[in-house]
Amino acid sequence: MNHKLIFSISWSLMKARWKQTLIAAVGVTFSITMFIALLSFMTGLNGLLDGLVLNRTPHVRIYNDIKPSKHQPVNLSGEYKQSYNFIKSVKSASGRQEIYNSAAILQLLKNDNRVVGIAPKIIAPVFFNAGTIDITGVINGIDVQSESALFHFNDYIITGKAIDLKNVPNSIILGKGVADKLLADPGDVLQVTTSQGDIMPLKVVGYFQSGLQDFDKVQCYTSINTAQKLLGKPNNYLTDIQVKLTDLNQAPVVAKEYGALFQADTEDIQTANSQFETGSFIRTLISYSVGITLLIVAGFGIYNILNMMIYEKMDAIAIMKATGFSGSDVNRIFIVIALSIGFFGGVIGLFLGFGLSVVIDNIPFRTAALPTITTFPVNYNPAFYFIGAIFSLVTTYFAGYFPARKASKVDPVIIIRGK
C-alpha cells in the first residue's frame, strides 16, 4: 500500500474531527509538561536535600573507633579456656584514636586508581570559654584545599573565606549556631579548652552554615596544623582519612578492603547515609508514578476518541475495504492517527515542560537555613525528556492499537447491506 496515501487518509480523518483530535493532543501535551516539570523539580529537590549531607560525606572514611576490647584477660587464660565467663561493666579500651602510620596510608591511597581524592582530618571535642560558661563544640582540623575540592566546603562559608584558615595562624571558622551562642564576630579571639585541659586562643575568621541546625551548633573548623598544636600532637597526627572514589557503588567493598589492610575502622557512604538514599528513591519513584499515570490517563482519552471516530466512520471504512484496502491498511491508518497525536502533543509538551522548569528555577526561594540557595532547585537531566518522549509514543500507540484492530475487522458487506 502507498504510504503517502495512508498518511493522506489519516490526515483527512483527523481534520474531520479536529476538535476531538486537538483535545487528545492537549491531553498528551499536559501530561508530558507535568511529567517533565514534576520530575525535574523533585530530582532537583532530592539533589539539594541529599547534598546537605552526602556532599559532606566521604565515600570511605578511615578512622579508629572507641569500643570495648573484644578479648578480655580472663578469656586469654588457659586455666579458664573451657569456662563460660560472665563479665559485667566492660569499659571501652584506651586505644589510640589517631590513625597509625598515616603517612604511608596517604601515599598508598594516592597511588590507588580507584581514588579521586583524599582529605585528611582531625576531630577534637573542645569547650569554648564564654565567661563562666563552657560551651561544648567539635573542632575539625582540615586540609582546606582538599576539603573544598572534594566536599564543597567553600559553598557553606557565609562570612569570610575558607583559605583564611591556612593563611591566618591559629584561626577558626565557627558554625553559625556556635557563633550565635558566643556572640562572636570575625576578628574576635576565643579561648578554647581541650578535653585534656589545654587552653589556646583562636581568632575567628568566618562563619560556616550547612543548613543542618544541630550540626551548625557544634561544628567548627581550623587547619590541620592548628588542630595539631591545639592538641599538642606531632605533624603526622590524624584521626580521620576521608576518601572519594571514582565509583560510589564500590564504596562498601573498598571500605572492607581498607579496613583489613590498614587495621582500622572504616565506614562507607551507603552505610552512613542509608536513610537519605531511601528518601531520595521514594520521592523519585512517586514522581515517576504520577507522571506515568498522567500519560496513561491521556492514553485513555485517545482510545475513546478513536473508538468514537471508528463508529462514526464505519461507512468510510467499509468503502475503503470494498475498494481494495486490506485490514492491515485500515489498521495502519488509525495507528498513524494515534502516533501523530502522541508525537505532536509530546513535542509541544517537552518544550512546555522545559519552559515550566525554567519558571520554577527562577522562583525566589530564600531561607536562613540555606543561605547559598536563592531559587527552587531544578534538574535539567536530558534523560527525563527522552523518557517523556518514549512514553508519549508508547502510550498513544497502545491507545490506538485496539481501536485500529477493531476497524481492521469491519466487514464491508454487513455495513453496506445495513445501509
The C-alpha cell of 188 is what? 574576635
Number of residues assigned to the chain: 419
DSSP 164-212: HHHHSTTEEEEEHHHHHHHT--TT-EEEEEETTS-EEEEEEEEEE--S-
Q: Is the dihedral of CA 326, 332, 337, 338 positive or negative?
A: positive
At 270-307, the pLDDT tens digits run: 887 766 666 667 777 777 787 777 777 767 776 777 67
SS3 (DSSP) at 24: helix
Q: Are 258 and 119 in contact (CB under 8 A)?
A: no
At 5-34, the pLDDT tens digits run: 777 777 777 777 677 778 777 878 888 888
Q: Is the dihedral of CA 78, 83, 84, 86 positive or negative?
A: negative
- The model's confidence at residue 1, banded by pLDDT at 50, 70 and 90, is low
Higher pLDDT, 127 or 76: 127
Place of cell 519552559: 355
Q: Which residues of 305-332 are buried (b: 16+ CB within 10 A; e: fewer)?
A: bbeebbeebbebbbebbeeebeeebbbb
Q: What is the 3-state secondary structure (H, E, C) of 328-362?
A: HHHHHHHHHHHHHHHHHHHHHHHHHHHHHHHHHHC
pTM given for the model: 0.63
pLDDT at res. 355: 92
The C-alpha cell of 102 is what? 598515616
Q: Are 209 and 175 in contact (CB under 8 A)?
A: yes
